[in-house]
Copies of this chain bind each other. A is one copy, B any other.
C-alpha cells in the first residue's frame, strides 16, 4: 500500500490550549523524541505574539535548541509578516499559514475577513519568495460551528487561490470535527483533481468520534499526508470535554495494521506518548495508550 506521511502537531496545536506553561526544555525533549519516531514533519511551535499565546512565547529558543533530525521537516505556524521574519531567522523548513474558509470563523479567530486574511498571507508568501517551503492550513473546510455548512466551492476557491500563489502544500482542516467520511471522499476527490501538483494534507478532529473513519476515507481516496497530535491532545473550544485533534498513535496504528507504510516506529511512539499525561498534568484522549498494541498478548486467567 501507499507510503503515508505524518505531521505531529502536539507541541503547537496540542500545547496551545493547555492552561499550564510547559517548560521549554520539556518541549525540546518531546520534539527530539518525536523526531526519532519516523514523522515526516513536526509542527514544532508558532511564531505568534507572546501575549496572544503565552505557551509558545519560547518559539525561538525551541527552534534553536531542538535537534534537526535528517528526514524530518520542522514546520511552524506563522500568522503574519512579523512571524514570517522570525521563522526565517530560525531557519524553519516550512511556514504554515492559516486562514478559515468561513467568514464568521475567520472573524472570530483572526479578527478579519477571509479576503483580508488572504491579502495578508499573500504578502507573507511574496516576502518569503521561495526562501523556504510554505503550507497553508484552511480551517473549517468541512463545516463551521457558527455558520454551519461551508460550501465545497468555497474550499475549492481558496485552495486554488493559494495554489496559484505557488505554495507547496495545503492542509484541509476539519477544525471542529464536523466532517463525515462521505464528505471527505467527495472533497479529497475534487481537490486532488483540482490541484494535482499541490501536497494535500488532511487535518481531522475526533470531536464526534469519527476522526479515524475520516482518516480511512481520505486514505482510501488517495491522500497520503495527515496531521495528528500525540495522545489526541488539543481540544475544541466549541465543544468543552469533547476530543480535539485525532490521536497520532491511534491513527498511525490503524493505518499500519491495515498494511500502509507509515514510516513510524509505533512501539517507540507509544513510549513517547506514555510520558504525555505527566507532562500536561491530565489524562489524554488517545486509546492506544490505554489499550496497548494488538500484539500485546495477555495471559489466560488461571482456572479455579
Contact = CB atoms under 8 A, between A and B. Distances in A.
Contacts of A278: none
A130 interface: no
A215 B212 contact: no
A25 B207 CA distance: 33
A216 interface: yes
Nearest to A181: B216
Interface stretch (A73-81, A104-112, A193-201): A104-112
A240 B289 CA distance: 11
Nearest to A219: B181
A146 interface: yes
Interface string A179-206: 0111100000000000000000000001
Given A143-B294, A207-B291, A208-B288, 12 more contacts: A108-B301, A146-B298, A148-B297, A181-B258, A182-B258, A208-B250, A209-B212, A209-B251, A209-B287, A210-B254, A213-B213, A239-B291
Interface of A: 104, 107-108, 111, 143, 145-148, 177-178, 180-183, 206-213, 215-217, 236, 238-243, 247, 250-251, 253-254, 257-259, 286-288, 290-292, 294-295, 297-301, 303
